[in-house]
Structure formats: C-alpha cells, structure tokens
Amino acid sequence: MRGQKSLSAFSFKKTDRILKRPHFVMLSKFGRRIHRDCFVVNCCRNSLGKSRLGITVGKKVGCAVMRNRIKRLVREYFRLNLALIGGAYDVSVIARRGAADLSSQEISQTLETLFCEISKDCNNEAVVVGAH
C-alpha cells in the first residue's frame, strides 16, 4: 500500500460538481466563454479553494446513451486532469450537436485544448462573489 493513492483521491464528489441552476446562470453571465468544436466552456474563479464542474448535454446531442457517454468522458477528463486548470474555478462544459460523433480520444483532445486555454485566460479574472 505504500506509495499508492487511495481510491478516494480519485473520486468525483458531489462537492466537486455545480448542481444548482443559479450557479450555471452566474457562470454564463459573468464567466469567460471559450468555444471549440462541439463544446462551449464557461469558467470563472470561485472562492471555494477548489475547482468545480458542471456539465450540460441537451437532448439535441443524441439519445440518453450518447448524452451519458459524453458526461462520463467529460467528468473523467476533469477528474484526472484537475491540475491542468490550476487554481479554483467553476467550469461549465456544454456539449453541442456534433459531440456524440466524436471518439473518446477526440473528446479528450478537445477538452485538453479548452482546459489549457482556461488556465491561460482565466488567471487574471477577479473572484465572482457568490460563486459557491
């Protein structure tokens, strides 16, 4: 067990998620918006000391199986690459129509591009009051 991380270190807890509509609305109003391929990302700094993720996949993207697959891939990427963002951000990922046609690798590459851009562009933002 020495040198190994516990499974809880890799979990994606409820506190790591954006769940309430007002938080999504605040991100869309005051956050920085970045577009790539089939994804739109809204992000802004928060005062919680850790980053949180919210995912929106509309019915136009595909059937429930496709939407859930996209959500799983986005959550997994966020969970494994949290250090790429650096800092405490609220991040909302919105999947668009073509996202269901992308492979897992293409989704991962697109998200990597987006998250690198977030870390560059959002570092100069002020903390949004009430973003918790």
- pTM for this one? 0.82
Spatial separation of the C-alpha atoms in residues 86 and 51, rounded to whole Å: 8
Q: What domains lie within the chain, and their CATH numbers? A: 32-124 (3.30.230.10)
- The first and second tokens of residue 33, run together, are 């918006």
Per-residue pLDDT tens over the stretch 30-72: 989 999 889 999 998 888 888 899 999 999 999 999 999 999 9
Spatial separation of the C-alpha atoms in residues 69 and 6, rounded to whole Å: 26
For the chain, state the CA radius of gyration. 15
The secondary structure element, H or E, covering residue 45 is strand 39-45
